[in-house]
Structure 1
Amino acid sequence: MLGPLIVCYLFLGGTGAGACLVLAVLGLLAPRELVAVRGAGGDGAGRRPAGAHAVLRPPAAYRRFLAPGYRAALVALALGMVCLLADVGRADRLLLLLTSPAFSHVAVGAWSLAVCAVLAVLAGLAWDGLVRRWRFAAVQVLQAALALAALAVMLYTGLLLQSLSAVPLWATPWLPVLFVLSSLSCGVVLVLAAAQLTGAASAFATVLGRLAAVDAAVIVLEAAALAVFAGTALAGVGGDFVAGRTAEALEASAEALVAGEAAWLFWGGLVLAGLAVPFALDVVLARLRRPRPALALVAAACVLAGGLVMRYCVVEAGMHPLLAMAS
């Protein structure tokens, strides 16, 4: 049914989209008096804009912060597309899938991913300063559209599995919630890691501290969603039917997730390394007054590894018991 390439596609697409959402919000919150100058229609004195004809002129600190973040997000989105293409098998099959008038969750996801990537390229160019004469208002609209597209991709990665109602473990509304929160956390740490690697962290220590606090809050929500997702499955609540072999498959999937042969990956790779450790590090980073690159990069690595492990565990626990029963 779903192989490792789809797991990577779900992870990379969600991570890239999460980073795009974070970057778009940061761009929307950037003070206009710091990142724009008066353009056509101004007084020509070079004073900061007060009217509608502001032109984006990001200073070096903002270019070094936001532009590399967009590049990192685009790498994740591009790799996700490569995984999707490799799973489909041939480029003509993907083109046929995209142009087919029939509704398909995979087609919707691919289109959402493509739109998100195109908008991210434009936003990255705007903040990189390579293309000048960007109207500040136009960039704000672009970033709002990017935020919506990114949110659609984040939500889709969970809806894709939920739509496969033949797998009882996935047929729950808690799965998209879990995937959205995981994608957001992965996106936050990708932005944090990019800022540390480019040296922009020193100029945005306060912003990064607040991002670490946001990530800590998201991790708490993700842990709660994971607990409800696993708990309802263990209690037999899920799927379109809760009788017969469907109930047996749901019970087998839930047990495989938390107590099966790969349970060590769930508890060690996801719960401990992917949630508990980065939460503790985020709390420390949120309280510090200056950057701690080593702590930030360790926290980012843990969150990203945990996001990949979560998707792998959910996919494997849903499929293998069902395939075993069918055989």
Structure 2
Amino acid sequence: MRGALYGSLVIVYLFLGGAAAGALFVMSAWSFAFRRSENPARLLTAFESLRRRTYTVGFLLLAFAMICLLGDLGNPGRALMVFFLPHPTVITFGAYTLAIEALLAALLLAASLPNSPLALRRRWLDIVEALCCIGALATMAYTGIFLFQGSIPFWNHWSIIVLFVFSSLSSGVSVVLLIDWFTQGQSLLLRATKPLQICHVACLAAEVVFLTLFVNAAFRNPLADASLNLLMEPEMLAIAGVGVIGMGIALPITLETYSITRKECRAIPVSDFICLLGGLCLRYCLITCGVH
């Protein structure tokens, strides 16, 4: 029964929802700061292009995450009841945070289009992007709360919420940097992403701290022994070691740190791609071992 409640759709839903919210948070916060600095016209043009593309990708990822959530609910009528006959449940909170964040992303996307009739003045744009940051934080936290409230011993520690927030932020930075690379190539913005890379390293370091806290709490909880036994099996341990630790944390930190110390533009964004795979592996391991 537990496996039915936490299947593959939930893994995809938590990963995409977190990554999308992380990307929207990063883009909104960066946009807020970018408008308060002096930049040449070419850089402004490149940034507006990146902004528009990131809001597009963020909205699409959120929409797909919502489809996964609705698919996991199974019954379309039940899905509609979540919105029209809401009850104070975690599922309701998650559905509303996703929907509100998707609406804010759509509004910011529409406002960023050239000659858009929905173009926002700076003050209103600041307000909407601030709301987008708040909604993104709520969405990222929800991806951890969803598991924390599941009455499963392996997840029964508050650190899983903070772990998922920093994992989502890390994935969000990677999404933004990948969009910048693949849509603009060797543009001026690649030189302007150094602070973003530093933030990425900080997020990964925080992820190490809270992953350590979570694993330590699990080993101290005798009710989580069944989940830990599954985690220690060779196949799952390989996914955890190579996927979560190696691809999700160690390699991105190493490659990002090396890139930060170099004066030239970033080469190929390998660290961002493998970081996303590592984030997916993290959710796969936690959910699969939790429902065992």
- Given candidates 22, 27, 30, the residue that maps to 1:26 is 30
Q: Name the structure, 1 or 2, with higher relative contact order (CA <8 Å, separation 6+).
A: 2
Specify which of 107, 115, 135 is matched with residue 100 of structure 2: 115
Q: What is the aligned length?
A: 284
| TM-score, L = length of structure 2 | 0.91
227 and 120 in structure 1: CA distance in 2 versus 1, 3 angstrom threshold: same
Q: 1:200 offset after TM fit, Å?
A: 6.2
1:64-104 per-residue CA deviation (whole Å, 9 max, x = no partner) reads 12111111212211111111121112332211122224211
Letter in 2 for 1:61: A
Identify which of 229, 237, 260 aligns with 1:263. Answer: 237
Cα deviations by residue, 1:151-170 (Å, 9 ceiling, x for unpaired): 000000100110112x1011
Ranges in structure 2 where 5+ consecutive residues have no aligned partner? none
1:136 counterpart = 2:122:
yes
Report the TM-score when normalising by structure 1: 0.82
Is the aligned partner of 1:314 residue 2:286? yes
Q: Deviations over 1:284-325 (max 9, x none)?
A: 22223333241x2x11111111111101100111111xxxxx
- Whole-angstrom CA distance in 1 between matches of 2:162 and 2:37: 37
Tell me the alpha carbon deviations over residues 243-301 of structure 1, each in whole angstroms, 9 at most, x when there is no partner.
xxxx3x4122123224554111101111011111111111122223333241x2x1111
Of 121, 141, 150, the match for 1:155? 141
Query: Does structure 2 retain, via aligned residues, the 8 Å contact 1:63–1:128?
Result: no
Aligned ranges 1:139-288 → 2 under 5 Å: 139-165=125-151, 167-199=152-184, 202-236=187-221, 247=222, 249-259=223-233, 261-288=235-262
| Equivalent-residue separation in structure 2 for 1:147 and 1:15 (angstroms) | 13
- Partner of 2:110 in structure 1? 125
Q: The residue matched to 1:220 in structure 2 has which SS? A: helix
SS at match of 1:311: helix
Distance 2:186 2:59 in 1: 20
Select 1:89's aligned residue among 65, 68, 74: 74
Provide the C-alpha distance between the structure 2 equivalents of 1:306 and 1:234, rounded to a whole number of angstroms. 22
- Please tell me the residue identity of whatever aligns with 2:121: R
- Alpha-carbon distance in 2 for matches of 1:87, 1:8: 11
Match of 2:59 among 65, 74, 77: 74
Aligned sequence identity (%) = 31
- 1:31-83 superposed Cα distances (whole Å, 9 cap, x missing partner): 35769xxxxxxxxxxxxxxxxxxxxxx94222212111111212211111111
Q: Is the 8 A contact 1:209 1:287 kept in 2?
A: no
| Partners of 2:167 and 2:21 in 1: CA distance | 11
| Separation in 2, partners of 1:130, 1:17 | 27
Q: SS state of the match for residue 66, structure 1?
A: helix
The answer to whether residue 287 in structure 2 is matched with residue 301 in structure 1 is no
Rounded to whole Å, the distance in 1 between the matches of 2:227 and 2:37 is: 54
Matched, 1:291 2:276: no
* Counterpart residue type for residue 262 of structure 1: M
- How many angstroms apart in 1 are the aligned matches of 2:37 and 2:174? 28
Question: Could you tell me how far apart the structure 2 residues matched to 1:66 and 1:23 are?
Answer: 7
8 Å Cα contact 2:181/2:190 also seen in 1: no
Tell me, yes or no, if the aligned pair for 2:82 and 2:95 is still in contact at 8 Å. no
Rounded Cα–Cα distance in structure 2 between residues aligned with 1:258 and 1:143: 43
1:64 to 49, 54, 79: 49
Amino acid at match of 1:24: S
Runs of at least 5 residues in structure 1 that lack an aligned partner in the other structure: 36-57, 237-246, 321-327
| Match of residue 325 from structure 1 | none
| Aligned-partner SS, 1:114 | helix
* Structure 2: distance between partners of 1:290 and 1:209: 11
Q: Quick check: 144-153 or 210-219, which moved more?
A: 210-219
Counterpart code for 1:302: I
Residues 1:260 and 1:271: Cα distance change in structure 2 (over 3 Å)? same
For 1:273 and 1:59, locate their aligned partners in 2 and report how far apart those are by CA, in whole Å.
33
